[in-house]
Amino acid sequence: IPVDSFDLVIFGGTGDLARRKILPGLFRRYASGQMPDEGRIIGAARSDMTCDEFRTMVKEAVEEFDPKSAKDTENLEKFLERVFYVAVDAMGDGGWKELGDLLRPDMIRAFYFSVAPSLFGTIAERLKTFDLADDDARIVVEKPFGKDLETARALNKSLAEHFHEGQIYRIDHYLGKETVQNLMAVRFGNMLFEPLWNSQYVDHIQITVAETVGVGGRGSYYDTSGAMRDMVQNHLMQLLCLIAMEPPAKFDPDAVRDEKLKVIRALDPVEPHHIVRGQYSASEKSASYREDVENPRSFTESFVAMRCEISNWRWAGTPFYMRTGKRLKARTSEIAVVFKDAPHSIFGAEAGVHRNVLSIRLQPNEGMTLGVTIKEPGPGGMRLVDVPLDMTFAEALGPDAEEVPDAYERLIMDVIRGNQTLFMRGDEVEAAWAWTDPIINGWTNRNDVPKPYDTGSAGPDDALMLMHRDGRRWREIK
């Protein structure tokens, strides 16, 4: 279904994120018919370039980052006619009037801040000074949203001076992933799971976001951030919230976000011995973390694993284990709900222990698998095996199913529709920092040194111990 017509301004339209994700995503939405012909995209950045030069850059970005879609040259040419550019200095007054001249009245207006966070406040302020944004306009804010509670509060405050909360879309692209939304559909659309979704039946939950890449070109930023700020405070916390929250009364932005906020507030502080930090070592083919960030004395973590507890009636006694890191064995993101053993095995001890595991995969192959125990086929007697009930979306929905849109393009369409359900509210972000800050401050105060781990491993051995101590084990990273 096409969205209403809009003017979308991308501040930082020439940057890496815009070229890799935002612009190719918008092209796919155009080619699929969701972005209407009257929709316009206006790149706004520091570089002095003409509209034609920007269109060439957009075309090259689509060709480079989505070569498959770029083959649809007819639509690509039509899409490019909807793309404009104006050089704007976020810190000064240049270009703002020209930007205003390009914007049309009576259109939905959205401003995507795909620039360094230090510019968020000044752009918000100038949008008002130059009278470019009324009370219906939307602003989209990229991560990182602050680096601690204090900076996040200051940022919320500076945005709130010019925009009300209903206009602010804080992006966490994990929430735009198909499976993450499906998690809510599975939990709240079926009778099967919700009655079991509590500490009485769930032994523990594991959330893993593993990357194979190192810090790449983001070294200088990453070294001031680390895995806790870059991944846990936002993405892993969001996944934890969706898994753990109570059923909202309806699928509406504030109902969902109220429930997520309650989860964050119910999270216990994490004891130091329940957290393991790691830093990747060099391998034959790749440099060490410290070499990558060019800081031989860096104590920043590229890996973190932790055991968390949620103190409420539903979850008291069920640990949530989370881990994320770079240069690990495989690129995979998975949430696993590990159910308890059946109270009694009628098949005797030799049948072994079998547990139901609901695995929700964010990548690769988005989908869900429910591990169930059945009889091993054949004449061998009552031997039990675990088999997966596989719900890989691509397979289940068949070749004619619409292609799953990328997280960014889906979220941008939600901005145009004015739907904030999959965006973080200001109080959520602050609550997440309020939980994260004492952990990070503890490391700083103790001069905590991350444990080295091998590239291609599952992280430091201590992370394995975190589970073994509890008589549990991490699922394989594959």
Binding-residue pattern over the window 60 to 89 for ligand NAD, x denoting contact by CB under 6 A: ----------------------------xx
**Residue 98 is inside which H or E element, if any?**
helix 96-102
Site for ligand NAD in 289-318 (CB under 6 A): none
Phi-psi group of 281: left, alpha or beta (phi > 0 → left; psi -120 to 50 → alpha; rest → beta): beta
Please report whether residue 57 would count as binding ligand NAD according to CB under 6 A: no
- Residue (33 or 94) nearer to ligand NAD, CB: 94
CB of 224 to ligand NAD, least distance (A): 12
Please report whether residue 206 would count as binding ligand NAD according to CB under 6 A: no
* Range in contact with ligand NAD (rule: CB under 6 A) among 39-47, 60-68, 358-366, 372-380: 39-47
Alpha helix (H) residue ranges in 299-350: none
* Range in contact with ligand NAD (rule: CB under 6 A) among 9-17, 77-85, 275-283, 340-348: 9-17
- Whether 162 is a known active-site residue: answer no
Site for ligand NAD in 118-157 (CB under 6 A): 119, 142-144
Residue 412, SS3 per DSSP: helix
Residues in contact with ligand NAD, total (CB under 6 A)? 23
Site for ligand NAD in 96-125 (CB under 6 A): 114-117, 119
Please report whether residue 90 would count as binding ligand NAD according to CB under 6 A: yes
- Residue (218 or 475) nearer to ligand NAD, CB: 218
Which of 235, 273, 274, 344 is catalytic? The answer is 235
- Judge contact between 351 and 383, C-beta under 8 A: yes
Q: CA 239 to CA 431: how far, in whole Å? A: 15
- Paired strand residues for 320: 205, 308
Neighbours of 147 (CB within 10 A): 17
- Judge contact between 223 and 162, C-beta under 8 A: no
Going from the C-alpha of 451 to that of each of 163, 281, 305, 378, 448, the distances in angstroms are 44, 10, 11, 48, 9
Please report whether residue 268 would count as binding ligand NAD according to CB under 6 A: no
Exactly one of 3, 12, 163, 206 binds ligand NAD (CB under 6 A); that residue is 12
Give the torsion sign (CA, 323, 325, 328, 330). positive
Cis ω before 364 (30° cut-off from 0)? yes
Please report whether residue 15 would count as binding ligand NAD according to CB under 6 A: yes
| Contact positions vs ligand NAD (CB under 6 A) | 11-18, 45-47, 88-91, 114-117, 119, 142-144
| Residues acting as catalytic residues | 235
